[in-house]
Chain A
Amino acid sequence: MHDPAALASTAVPLLEARNLHAHYGASHVLHGINFAIRAGETVALMGRNGMGKSTLIRTMLGLVRASTGQVLVKGQDMTHTAPHLIARSGIAYVPEGRGIFPNLTVRENLVMAARAGTRGQRDWTLDRVLTSFPRLAERLAHGGGQLSGGEQQMLTIGRALMTNPDLLILDEATEGLAPLISREIWRIVASIRASGIATVLIDKNFAALSTIADRVHILVKGSTVFEADTDQLRAQPHIRETFLGI
């Protein structure tokens, strides 16, 4: 069994933000965030709408410019590095709103992303992805745009896995999906976690998150207000009420 807590305390973080600030034009969205995730960990990034969760992710991935502060990938400063190089350091991203390529077939969506991981690992192949997502196997020749919302989400996750990442970031992966489909996504996320890939999860479903996440990181208006093991959050319902409204 892997013990994320033991691993986490020693290892260099896979991805780390240090005193990170970000702006959209004149509006200051991230106010000095410190965030870290280590190999094998599952971290839930929580907060109400518009608190800066997606922006934090996108800034760490190089998609939004960091105003000040640092982004480190495996201890290396990659603050103003091109997004594709950050991705190539072993980080896969499933964005809010999915981001499948509607003009490519399901197969093409998967194949175009295929690559060995940072340690040369090729654990996730087309076959393995299709075994994990049987619905996609049935629709290989369909255009990405023809899929249902849930299938599109599976395609984005499958595509992210094709890059054989060390860290997978899921931004609102179950947003707008029917409960049955959401459950299937959570089951998949659990199996990805069990395979040893670290995950950052952003989701509205606290119950699902709290069963899977090792740690919780809560943002309010672009600042960290709470950061602890998931058990501690469960034990403090007032924090949930104050910061998450649940």
Chain B
Amino acid sequence: MELATFLIQLLNSVQYGLLLFLISSGLTLVFGIMGIINVAHGSFYMLGAYLAWSLTQSFGNFWLALLLAVPITVLLALTLEWLVIRYLYTRDLLYQVLLTYGLILMFEEIRSILWGDDVRGVSIPAALDASIRLTDTLSYPVYRLAISGLCLLVAASMYGLIQKTRIGMTIRAGSVNREMVQSLGIDVTMLYRLVFALGVTLAALAGMIAAPVSSVFPGMGNQVLIVCFVVVVIGGMGSVKGALIASLLIGLVDTFGKVLHVEVAGVHLLPELASMSVYLLMAAILLWRPEGLFGKRG
């Protein structure tokens, strides 16, 4: 492989990995702190993408669309937590999966009613619609770099929020002893509502910024949800740091699994093997560490 091609694939894999992190960090946070498995997490990714599309259509400006879509998502998340999610805290896994699966169906239906079932596209905002030339024939789109940059910024802010602020301390404390946090005069209900809103808004944000580089289509949330669960399992349930490492790993394995022509003893392995590479990675890591890279040992 040529160096420039390699560099492009590397950048692609980092960008994909960071985007995955943006989505899966919320999933792992909601699980780790609130003990909720939210299988509708991917629906927020889809919602973000469709909101970006529809608002860009209406206002003709992608940035304005983002500016409106984020608060819409936050409001929706807060409402949803209050309407349904909060009843799950004391329920077991089966209820959580059933209820949030029901939410997926509702989201898909609402998407169908509001925006139809067609595949949509969002064009790259003009300010970032440029490429960096690497060689005479190869170049790299600025917008993809911007995605990586934004994801890194979000990752850094999350780290700061969770590790350095008092809210972050309370969130971490609440993940081990909810009752004690309450007894110290802290409103855990409100804290959970905020964590849930933060988690799903990150997923929606990922959908919004990914919209210009990937198409917007029905069921896109479920596709990404499966990969996110792989991330969360590899990284260790509840570990944000684990999610970051696992996302980057999956980005690498997925991207290079697709471009490398694996040839064993003169036989081209089937392309299907490439699409399995992520799951093979998961299996290998789980054999080595069943609790995931940064998971708590049960």
Contact = CB atoms under 8 A, between A and B. Distances in A.
Interface of A: 61, 63, 82-84, 87-88, 92-93, 95, 99, 101-104, 108-109, 111-113, 115, 159-160, 163
Contacts of A95: 180, 183
B181 to A, nearest CB: 8
B200 to A, nearest CB: 24
User: Interface residues of B: mostly helix, strand, loop or mixed?
Assistant: helix
Interface in B149-173: 166, 169-170, 172-173
A63 B166 CA distance: 24
A101 B177 contact: yes
Given A99-B177, A101-B176, A102-B176, A63 B183 contact: yes
B176 A61 contact: no
A87 B180 CA distance: 11
Interface string B177-198: 1011011111111000000000
A163 B181 CA distance: 12
A102 B170 CA distance: 13
Q: For the side of the interface on B, what is the size category?
A: 10 to 19
Contacts of B277: none
Given A102-B176, A103-B176, A112 B170 contact: yes
Q: Which of A61, A63, A99 has the most CB of B within 10 A?
A: A99
A102 B175 CA distance: 11
Contact of A111 (B169, B183, B187, B188): B169
A159 B184 contact: yes
A89 to B, nearest CB: 9
30 contacts: A61-B183, A83-B179, A83-B182, A83-B183, A84-B182, A84-B184, A84-B185, A84-B186, A84-B187, A87-B183, A88-B185, A92-B183, A93-B183, A95-B180, A99-B177, A99-B183, A101-B176, A101-B177, A102-B176, A103-B175, A104-B169, A104-B172, A108-B169, A109-B173, A112-B173, A113-B184, A113-B185, A159-B184, A160-B184, A163-B184
A101 B180 CA distance: 9
Given A61-B183, A83-B183, 9 more contacts: A82-B187, A84-B182, A87-B182, A99-B177, A99-B179, A99-B180, A111-B166, A111-B169, A163-B184
A45 B219 CA distance: 60
A64 to B, nearest CB: 10
Interface in B228-275: none
Closest 5 A-B residue pairs measured CB to CB? A87-B185, A112-B169, A99-B180, A83-B182, A101-B173
Contacts, number: 62
A95 B170 CA distance: 18
Contacts of B189: 82
Contacts of B183: 61, 63, 83-84, 87, 92-93, 95, 99
Contacts of B172: 101, 103-104, 108
A183 B170 CA distance: 31
Contacts of A112: 166, 169-170, 173, 184, 186
A191 to B, nearest CB: 21
Contacts of B187: 82, 84
A229 B183 CA distance: 29
Contacts of A88: 185
Contacts of A115: 185
A171 B173 CA distance: 21
A159 B186 CA distance: 13
Nearest to B188: A84
Contacts of B185: 84, 87-88, 113, 115, 163
A109 B183 CA distance: 13
Nearest to B169: A112
B298 to A, nearest CB: 16
Given A63-B183, A87-B183, A104 B188 contact: no
Contacts of B188: 84
Contacts of B186: 84, 112
A102 B177 CA distance: 10
Contacts of A63: 179, 182-183
Contacts of A61: 183
Nearest to B296: A103
Contacts of B176: 101-103
